[in-house]
């Protein structure tokens, strides 16, 4: 069978198998439980089955481009480990309050590097053909804009990535917010889900983080305060427990309603 061209570089053959669309470190806690190391996947027909890893796909990237994603993922695996335990990493994070809302300021994170990582997630979701991601499809023009940005700036080694990040220009200019819960819950692992909420809003739920991505200027004024569109310090609002559960309940309801409408 003739393999397609790599979706990122559009030059080499897409010969890499088992590419994660979402990095493994962002989903691994779904599979850690007293009931067994598995999660429950709900398919298009609402049927459930046990799975032991987040979705993978074959032949969408070449080996070299997969390596470029791995380089930035390695950096952010360490970052998210600290972020989950932010109160013990005061050199990296400040906690501030606006009104009744607490939020985290990432003191040592380059905003250009963070955007490169977030856009790498969003772009891979959009090109994915796995049924779990098929409701997360960007307009072709935006998908290509992100591809070009990623291809130009992802590097094959850590030193090159860090040494050139301040030179990055022509960054796609979109609002996005990353939200984390106030607490970690032993009896609720969260979920992995990605879909388009409305004409201009896309949502990615990543166990203990949720990312809202906007393709126009329709972002809610409250969330706008916490958008990382500008190249300032990265800020991450902290959701109170009640709001976090309500948001996850809303996401699950959306998923189930979508599946019911197919029947």
Range name among 2-16, 197-211, 239-253 with the lowest pLDDT average: 239-253
Backbone angles phi, psi at 7, to 5 degrees: -65, -25
The model's pTM is 0.90
72-121 per-position pLDDT tens digit = 999 999 999 999 999 999 999 999 999 999 999 999 999 999 999 999 99
H helical segments located in the chain: 63-84, 111-127, 140-153, 158-164, 221-224, 241-262
Q: Give the model confidence (pLDDT) of 124-139 as tens digits.
A: 999 999 888 989 999 9
Asked if residue 20 lies in contact with residue 56, where contact means CB atoms within 8 angstroms, the answer is yes
Closest CA to 161 of 120, 105, 104: 120
Q: Model confidence over 42-79: pLDDT tens digits?
A: 565 666 665 556 778 999 999 999 999 999 999 999 99
Q: State the Cα–Cα distance between residues 127 and 138, nearest whole angstrom.
A: 9
């Amino acid at each position: 069978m003739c393999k397609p061209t790599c979706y990122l570089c559009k030059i080499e053959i897409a010969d890499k198998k088992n590419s994660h669309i979402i990095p493994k470190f962002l989903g691994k806690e779904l599979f850690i439980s007293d009931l067994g190391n598995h999660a429950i996947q709900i398919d298009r027909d609402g049927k459930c089955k046990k799975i032991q890893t987040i979705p993978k796909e074959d032949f969408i990237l070449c080996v070299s481009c997969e390596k470029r994603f791995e380089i930035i993922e390695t950096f952010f695996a360490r970052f998210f480990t600290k972020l989950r335990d932010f109160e013990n990493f005061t050199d990296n994070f400040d906690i501030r309050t606006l009104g009744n809302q607490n939020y985290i300021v990432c003191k040592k994170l380059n905003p250009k590097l963070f955007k490169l990582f977030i856009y790498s997630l969003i772009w891979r979701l959009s090109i994915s053909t796995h049924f779990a991601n098929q409701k997360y499809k960007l307009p072709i023009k935006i998908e290509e804009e992100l591809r070009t940005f990623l291809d130009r700036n992802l590097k094959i080694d850590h030193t090159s990535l860090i040494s050139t990040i301040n030179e990055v220009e022509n960054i796609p200019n979109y609002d996005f917010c990353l939200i984390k819960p106030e607490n970690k819950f032993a009896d609720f692992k969260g979920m992995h889900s990605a879909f388009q909420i409305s004409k201009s809003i896309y949502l990615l739920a990543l166990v203990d983080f949720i990312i809202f991505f906007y393709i126009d200027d329709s972002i809610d004024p409250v969330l706008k305060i916490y958008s990382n569109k500008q190249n300032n310090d990265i800020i991450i609002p902290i959701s109170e427990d009640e709001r976090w559960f309500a948001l996850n309940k809303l996401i699950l309801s959306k998923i189930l309603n979508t599946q019911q409408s197919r029947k």
